[in-house]
Every structure is written in C-alpha cells, then in structure tokens.
Amino acid sequence: MPNFDIIRKTKHSESYRCTATKGQFDIETTESIERFIGKIDMPDKWSIGVICGNSGTGKTTIAKELFPNNYIMCHDYVSECVLDDFPKNMNLKDIHKILNTVGFSSPPSWLKPYSVLSTGEKMRVDIARAIASDKDLIVFDEFTSVVDRNVAQIGSAAIAKAIRKTEKQFIAVTCHFDIIEWLEPDWVFDTNTMRFEVTRGRYRRPNIEISICEKRGLWDMFKKYHYLAANLNNSSKQYVGYYKGKPIVFTAVLPMIGVKNMRKEHRTVVLPDYQGVGIGSAFSDEIAKMYVENGYRYVSVTNNPAFIARRTKSKNWVLKNYGRYSSHTRISSNKNKYNRIKTSWEYVGGDNV
C-alpha cells in the first residue's frame, strides 16, 4: 500500500446558527480542512489487521479512502429471522456453519430478527454476513464500538479464529485498543501517531480464567440458548462457571440409573456473548475431570459439532458410539430431528484440560 496523503474539506453551512457561531468565536474560514498523512505497508501474507486510534484521528476517512470497495459499517436487516438476511443463493448448511464459526452457536437465537438480539449477538451476525459476502477483504468500521468490553474481547478472539479458518482478510477499524491482543493481528496502524507496525506473533490472547461453583437456580438464564431442549431434570447437579464475576457457562450432571458410580452430562450451555473460543468444551472437560478424579465414570451424549470436533482430537475422551437418533428415541416430537447424528463419549483422561 503506497503512502497516503488525504485531505478532507467540509464547507461550512450558511445557516443562521452556523454564521452566528462563527462570528461569536471569530472564525473566518469558510470550510474545515483535515489532513491525514501516513503509510500502511502491509506484509505479503496476512489475515488480520487493525486500524485504531482515538475519535477524530482519521480512522474512518483512511479506511474509506484506501479500501472503498471493501468498507463495511453496517448491514441491512429486513427479515423476521436473521437466517433470511444471508445471501439468497447460500445454502442453509453453510449459513449454520458460518454462524457457528463466529461463535454464534445458539440455534434458537438464529430464528429471531436482528433487532431483538443482544449487542454481542449482533456483532457476531454482522461478521458472519461479512464472511458470507463475496469480498476477499473485509474492512469493518466501528468494530466492538457498542459492546461491553468483556464481551468485545471474547468476541474478538472468536472472530479472529473464524477469519483464520477462511481465505479472507479482515481489517478491524476501532477506537478500542483493549481488543488488539484478543485479535492477535498481523499488523496495526495507529492513527494517533500515524505509525504502522507488523505485529505478527507479538500478541497472544490472554487466558480466560473461569471459576466453578455448584449452584442451583440459574438454569432460567441459560435454557433458551440450549441447542436441543430447555427442560432440566430436577435431580441433576448443577455447575456454573463465572468469568470476572458473571455467570457465563452452565453444566448439569445426572446419575445413570442402574449403573453404579457413573454420571452423565445432562446439559451444557454457554451464553451467546461468550461462545466461539472453546469455553463450553473446556468447562465440560473440567466437570468430567472432577467426577473421574472422585472415582466415577463419566459419559456424555452430544450432537454439538464443536464438542464432537474437540473430543475427536482429545486424548481425554473415547468415542463409544456414533450413530443417529431414530424415531423411537424420545428427544422431541419434531420429526425433523430424527436421523440426526448422535455421538456417545466417555471421559478417560485427567491431564491437559
């Protein structure tokens, strides 16, 4: 990318209020002039870049000037279901995959209109739609600008992970410096100093530390996000994971009737704002480890793609059965759920969780 020297001129209004204000403060110019000089010397190969700086330092102007055909600030949402706002020629399986990839893995929320989603969910959907576009380069302005900062950081890590699974390049334009280490960008351009740096390998995503508490009474805040069912067995033991004092992940565990010293994972749910970085799988592993270390066998049945992918690569889980639900399986009255893939696992490890 060559050196840039951008001059932006804005002609002053001749309205009464504008003219009176200029007179009051002895402003004699007829236009405002801003100038931005710098260079973004991108490496040959990169996936994620960041243009960051304080308000008024030229981030948006530079992004629009240098990448006019790739600049995105918002999408139009007109459908009653966010799934229907994706390209009409895109098949449903690919839409599901992209939503899962960016960490928006709550099918019940996919059925809602964009307007009722949380700000964190909206951010994930916005990025998913950008990835679904035909653009090889995505320049996304106001990145995480209206999101809670904890949610912004977790979301940034999930989005960075998603981008790196594609062939696309992504530039986050933002006034928030707190998400840079979570994005782990290949380069950063700071509009406060007009300084460009190649940062590949410099940043490392911080550890996400979650405390576990056995606690009942919080299922209501998690149940609507469960991919399969909202019911919870009253005999279950319930565990909640807290991140910076907030409950974000839930697991319930049941005894196996007729099998001594065996426990079964009943429900595991992560709140949407914290999905996409492996919190659910890691929490599930930790609960399993706790039971095994206390002398129990621990099993789990799941059709969650993220869980299946992680457990397939893990030495701590052994696949016991791989098949499909049948019409005789009491999972739902919805016949569309029959013939769905079902995997059964037993936790046998204990280290490296």
Q: Is the same domain home to 301 and 334?
A: yes
Give the domain range for residue 305. Answer: 211-347
pLDDT score of 106: 85
Flag whether 204 is in a domain: no
Please identify, among 198, 220, 251, the residue that sits at the C-terminal boundary of a domain. 198
Cβ within 8 Å of residue 83, ≥6 positions away = 92, 95, 110, 111
Are 84 and 152 part of one and the same domain?
A: yes
Domain end residue (candidates: 165, 198, 231): 198
The answer as to whether 66 is a domain residue is yes
Tally the domains of the chain: 2
* Domain presence at residue 19: no
Same domain flag for 73 and 47: yes
Q: Is 314 a domain residue?
A: yes
CATH number at residue 184: 3.40.50.300
CA distances to 1, 60, 89, 136, 190 from 67, in Å: 11, 10, 26, 12, 17
Residue 21 is assigned to a structural domain of this protein: no
In DSSP terms, which residues pair with 300 in a beta bridge? Answer: 345
pLDDT, one tens digit for every residue, the chain (353 residues) = 668 999 989 999 999 999 999 999 999 899 989 899 999 999 999 999 999 999 989 999 999 999 999 998 888 999 999 999 999 999 999 999 999 889 898 888 999 999 999 988 999 999 999 999 999 999 999 999 889 999 999 999 999 999 999 999 999 999 999 999 999 999 999 999 999 999 999 999 999 999 999 999 999 999 988 876 678 998 999 999 999 999 999 999 999 988 889 999 999 999 999 999 999 999 999 999 999 999 999 999 988 878 888 899 999 999 998 876 554 444 444 444 445 678 999 999 855 44
Count Cβ atoms below 10 Å from residue 214 Cβ, excluding itself: 11
Q: According to the model, what pLDDT value does residue 350 have?
A: 57
pTM of the model: 0.85
Total length of the chain: 353
- Pair 334, 251 in one domain: yes
Same domain? For 182 and 103 the reply is yes
Query: Do 78 and 100 reside in the same domain of the chain?
Result: yes
Task: List Cα–Cα distances, 267 to 150, 221, 225, 240, in angstroms.
Answer: 25, 13, 11, 11
- CA proximity to 8, closest of 62, 54, 74, 75: 62
The answer to whether residues 148 and 222 belong to one domain is no
Last residue of a domain, one of 148, 163, 198: 198
Q: For the domain that residue 278 is a member of, what is the CATH number?
A: 3.40.630.30
Q: Which residues of 289-323 are buried (b: 16+ CB within 10 A; e: fewer)?
A: bbbbeeebbbbbebbbebbbebbeebebbeeeeee
40 with 67: CB under 8 angstroms?
A: no
Q: Look at the alpha carbons of 72, 77, 82, 85 in this order and tell me if their dihedral is positive or negative.
A: negative
Q: Are residues 184 and 69 in the same domain?
A: yes
Q: Is residue 3 part of a domain?
A: no
Measured between alpha carbons, how far is 231 from 297 in angstroms, rounded to an integer? 24
Identify the pLDDT of residue 325: 55
